[in-house]
Structure 1
Amino acid sequence: MTLPVHRRSGPLLEHPFHTLGWGEPIAAEFGDLFERMNRLLEATGTEPALRGFSPLADLQETDDAYVVEAELPGIKRGDVDVEISQRELCIAGEYKEREREGVLRRSTRRTGRFEYRALLPVDIKADEIKAKLVDGVLTVTVPKAQAAKPRHVEITEA
């Protein structure tokens, strides 16, 4: 299948970059910008190169629990780790590059480390957390502590 080519003209595209005073290709400018942004994030403790990317996920609240559903297609149970510390839930793992024959011409799939973090707003029952991986969706159920559940307060006459 071939895709149509759209050719645009304009003052920026009609002149080579060196005649505009840029001196080097614009790709190098963007590469330098991304490198400086990564250094800035590393200095703040974010470290994007180590953290990787975050999978698509939903966090919903029910009366009894918080439920996280994260999309992890093709991931094996042993390649994902679920941890909880105080109120923070962390789902981490790695998509491993599979071996291929021939030359890979194009890929839009992400590979490498992934991490999803959620800060839960109330006390939880850490010893009762359940996680299951079915059809590429990891479902983590985090029960709320008894004190965190809403309860009805009866109003009496004085």
Structure 2
Amino acid sequence: MLARREGVNSLFKPFEELHREIDRLFDEAFRGLGTGNKRTEGFLPEVDIYETDDSIVIEMDVPGIKKNDLKIKLEDGILTISGEKKYEKKEKSKSYHLIERGFGSFSRSFRVPDTIDHTKIKANYDNGVLKIELPKKEEAKKEAVEIKID
């Protein structure tokens, strides 16, 4: 069985190396969009950022992380979300062929526009999704204005 397991692992090794290289290239290419994303032990939560008429919303997938293990901080116009996904001890009686679920500490940072009302930022955590609402200042909300044609 050992030889077979080594064969399976060797089949996936080129793909794992390719995956790491693609991640590295994307990190370099998009470095200016965020202000810094730090990963250790292979865990970096995925994020969706979208805008509504009233706010900018950040949704981050953080399954398996307890609410108390997350920290959100706004300082000098930079919103930083950090946390830790605890390592699950793998049972020695199991013969793992592939382990993709990451763990460890992470930190994601995003520049917050001046149009955001910093005093009204709200965060909610439900079913492994962290949702942060960044409300816009009243003067920054878009209003449609009808323009008459002469």
TM range (shorter): 0.5 to 0.7
Of all paired residues, the percent bearing the same amino acid is 34
**Map of 1:109 onto structure 2:** 101
In structure 1, stretches of 5+ residues that fail to align are: 6-29
- Give CA-to-partner distance per residue, 1:99-151, whole Å, 9 cap, x none: 34325634211111112222233421122111111111111111011121123
Q: Equivalent residue of 2:82, what SS?
A: strand
How many correspondences in the alignment?
A: 119
**Are the structure 2 counterparts of residues 96 and 68 from structure 1 closer, same or farther at C-alpha, using a change threshold of 3 Å?**
same
**Are the structure 2 counterparts of residues 154 and 56 from structure 1 closer, same or farther at C-alpha, using a change threshold of 3 Å?**
same
In structure 2, stretches of 5+ residues that fail to align are: 9-16, 29-35
Q: Using CA pairs below 8 Å that are at least 6 residues apart, which structure has the higher relative contact order?
A: 2
**Map of 2:130 onto structure 1:** 138
TM-score by length of 1: 0.60
CA distance in 2, matches of 1:130, 1:103: 44
In the TM superposition, structure 1's runs of 4+ consecutive aligned residues that sit over 6 Å from their partners are 2-5, 49-52
1:91 aligned to which of 81, 103, 107: 81
**Map of 1:81 onto structure 2:** 71
CA distance in 2, matches of 1:87, 1:153: 30
**Are the structure 2 counterparts of residues 91 and 149 from structure 1 closer, same or farther at C-alpha, using a change threshold of 3 Å?**
same
Richer in strand (by share): 2
Q: Equivalent residue of 1:102, what SS?
A: coil
Q: Retained in 2: the 8 A contact 1:52–1:115? A: no
Which range moved further: 131-140 or 143-152? Answer: 143-152
Which range moved further: 104-113 or 134-143? Answer: 104-113
Structure showing greater radius of gyration is 1
1:54-65 to structure 2, matched below 5 A, reads 54-65=44-55
CA distance in 1, matches of 2:126, 2:52: 21
**Are the structure 2 counterparts of residues 51 and 103 from structure 1 closer, same or farther at C-alpha, using a change threshold of 3 Å?**
closer
1:41-52 to structure 2, matched below 5 A, reads none
Q: Retained in 2: the 8 A contact 1:130–1:141? A: yes
State the Cα RMSD in Å: 3.6
**Are the structure 2 counterparts of residues 66 and 51 from structure 1 closer, same or farther at C-alpha, using a change threshold of 3 Å?**
farther
Q: Retained in 1: the 8 A contact 2:72–2:82? A: yes
Amino acid of the structure 1 residue aligned with 2:79 = L
